[in-house]
Amino acid sequence: MTGPMILTLTTFLPLIGAVLIMAVRIVGGAGAAGSASKGIALLASLATLGVSLVALSQFDPTVAGYQLVDEAPWFGGSSYKLGVDGLAISLVVLTTALMPLCILQSMKSIEDRLAEYMVAFLVLETLMIGVFCALDLVLFYVFFEGGLIPMFLIIGVWGGKNRLYAAFKFFLYTLLGSLLLLAALVYMAIVAGTTDVVVLQEGLHPETGALLFPPEVQTWLWLAFFASFAVKLPMWPVHTWLPDAHVEAPTAGSVVLAAVLLKMGGYGFLRFSLPMFPEASMLFQPLMFGLSVVAIVYASLVAFRQTDIKKLVAYSSVAHMGFVTLGIFSFNEAGIQGAIFQMISHGVISGALFFCVGVIYDRMHTREIAFYGGLVHRMPVYAALFMLFSMANVGLPGTSGFVGEILTMVGAFQASTWAAAGAALGVILSAVYMLTLYRRTVFGEMTNQKLLDIKDVTPLEFFILGLLAVSAVGLGVFPGVVFGLTESSTSEVLRMIGR
């Protein structure tokens, strides 16, 4: 396989799988498609992982700027342009690596309409990879908003009791944010005459060389982008769709939502808001710090009070995303590197936590914390793995969670002592809610009779959780793997905001 086109292949390979399954479904009926879809979906996602790894091997982390660029004219000032830097390629690999695990998990736990489920998942994978690879604002927007459709279906069709409410809330919240982004995008396209991200990041008119967006215009554009990314991330106070969506979504849906979809917000800040509107980003630094700290502390406190395991993990996601924004808006190398690392690490850890919840949910069909207790007596392996991920979520040294949190706090400390102090409080609180959760579900006496014959993890579940455990520890011990990749993108961002 040769260099160019490889990102196009990575992006659209899952879609090809989805079309195949659809063809089988329409021609062969639901029965044939159900069994065929397992094989096709797994193959497609593994092939995508393979191709993305090839792309990673061709990627040269020492070179600044975008690589492996595929470009074709599209319409007006927009083009079909894909390309990655270290930030994008690491998120792409995170996506492609999690996808086969999600599909493996779903094969067991999804019983109804499996073929359609796989189609929705593969389409979603294409759109997610596209978001991270797109180097054209319009193309980015198409992938960004298009992702709502399969996720809406995944929550709505295969979700829990309250799925109608959750699916609508997810869709409408996110859409309102992205339409403001659309209005800003249209304005930028008119002013610059192009929607090429590279040109817009430089901030100079391609022909005249004049400054594209003076500071007062930047403020409005920044706010429009902020509306979209803040909802997606999600930041306090627009985070309320997330717990609902997480609780109602099927396990693999929650995994993808937490591990990948939330990262689009942080990615958006790093890729667009900071480089394109540096003055406005500086201007809003105090606001972002404030919101981040509130998110970290408030979401941690709310998480502590939850009775539903998934809701607890969801609120912990909101808190951890607070670290991401804190790091990004500290405008220094430690902060931004930490934020990127935190995104990757949270992808692994929160994904793993949702898989853990899925394991016991598949057996007992409830997520009430009070229902469980004493799981360690019947599920020792599970208890060990769950312990590892809980500790990683708290940020225990040696796990990937620690690296992200400590770096973002170091970065934030250089920018604002108070913000760092608030974030540190959040670290303590995260230990409080995670350890409480762990104690109440895993330790103690087994009082609930229904739990008596609960089985430990199956080989498949062990395989999925084991892989994630290796990644969480591996990234914690060798964080340089990620830093090496993202170093040049971080310095590019810092160069563009002029610090």
Partner 1 sequence: MNFLADINNALPEAILVAFGLVGLLVGAIGGDRISGLLRLVAAIALAAASATAFVQFGRGETISAFASAELAPEGLYRVTLFTLFAKGVTYAMAAFALFMSTGFLKSAQMERYEYPLLIVFGSLGAGMMLSANDLMTLYVGIETLSLSSYVLAAFRRDSIKSAEAGLKYFVLGALASGLLLYGSALIYGFSGGTGYAAIAAAPTSVGLLFGLVFVICGLAFKASAAPFHIWTPDVYEGAPSPVVAFFSTAPKIAAVTLLAHVMFVAFGPHIASWQLIIAIIAALSMLIGAFGALMQNSIKRILAYSSISNVGFALIGIAAGAEAGAAAVLVYMTLYVIATLGMFGGVLALRRGGKSIDAVSDLNGLVKSKPGMALGLLILIFSVAGIPPAAGFWGKLQVFTAGIEADMLWLVLVGALASVVSLGYYLRLVWAMFMKPAGEPLDRTDVSVAATVAISALIVFPILTVAIQMLLSATALAAGG
Q: Which residues bind partner 1 (CB under 8 A)?
A: 22, 25-26, 30, 73-76, 113, 116, 138, 141-143, 145-146, 148-149, 152-153, 156-157, 163-164, 167-168, 171-172, 175-176, 179-180, 182-183, 186-187, 189-190
Residue 47 CA to residue 489 CA, distance in Å, equals 27
Min CB(167)–partner 1 separation in Å: 8
Min CB(62)–partner 1 separation in Å: 35
Neighbouring CB atoms inside 10 A of 101's CB total: 22
Q: Which is nearer to partner 1, 166 or 429 (CB)?
A: 166
Q: Which is nearer to partner 1, 276 or 297 (CB)?
A: 276
Q: Which is nearer to partner 1, 176 or 470 (CB)?
A: 176
Q: What residue has token string 């929607």?
A: 195
Q: Which two tokens stand for residue 333?
A: 């190398």
Q: Which is nearer to partner 1, 184 or 293 (CB)?
A: 184
SS3 204: strand
Is the CA virtual torsion 168, 169, 175, 176 positive or negative? Answer: positive
Which helix (H) or strand (E) is 485 found in, with range? helix 480-496
Nearest to 401 by CA among 438, 426, 420, 374: 426
Q: Which is nearer to partner 1, 145 or 492 (CB)?
A: 145
Min CB(474)–partner 1 separation in Å: 36
Nearest to 229 by CA among 340, 141, 335: 141
Is 190 exposed, middle or buried (CB count within 10 Å of its CB: 0-12, 13-18, 19+)? exposed
Q: Which is nearer to partner 1, 228 or 390 (CB)?
A: 228
Min CB(154)–partner 1 separation in Å: 11
Pair 384, 376: CB distance under 8 Å: no
Q: Which residues pair with 281 in a beta bridge?
A: none
Q: Which is nearer to partner 1, 33 or 302 (CB)?
A: 33
Q: Which residues pair with 70 in a beta bridge?
A: 82
Dump strand ranges (E) for 76-191. 78-84
Min CB(157)–partner 1 separation in Å: 5
Q: Which two tokens stand for residue 300?
A: 């941690």
SS3 110: coil
Q: Which is nearer to partner 1, 189 or 204 (CB)?
A: 189
SS3 475: helix
Min CB(111)–partner 1 separation in Å: 15
Min CB(183)–partner 1 separation in Å: 5
DSSP state, residue 211: B
Residue 36 to residues 20, 116, 315, Cα–Cα distance (Å): 10, 12, 37
Residue 328 CA to residue 263 CA, distance in Å, equals 13
Residues 478-483: contacts with CB within 8 Å, 24+ apart?
Answer: 479/341, 479/400, 479/403, 482/90, 482/340, 482/341, 482/344, 483/337, 483/341
Q: Which is nearer to partner 1, 231 or 343 (CB)?
A: 231
* φ and ψ at residue 308, rounded to 5 degrees: -110, 130
Min CB(82)–partner 1 separation in Å: 14
Q: Which is nearer to partner 1, 58 or 219 (CB)?
A: 219
Min CB(153)–partner 1 separation in Å: 6
Q: Which two tokens stand for residue 180?
A: 């403001």
Q: Which is nearer to partner 1, 26 or 435 (CB)?
A: 26
Pair 51, 156: CB distance under 8 Å: no
Min CB(272)–partner 1 separation in Å: 17
Is the CA virtual torsion 289, 294, 297, 302 positive or negative? Answer: negative
Q: Which is nearer to partner 1, 157 or 301 (CB)?
A: 157
SS3 368: strand
Min CB(22)–partner 1 separation in Å: 7
* φ and ψ at residue 184, rounded to 5 degrees: -65, -40
Min CB(118)–partner 1 separation in Å: 14
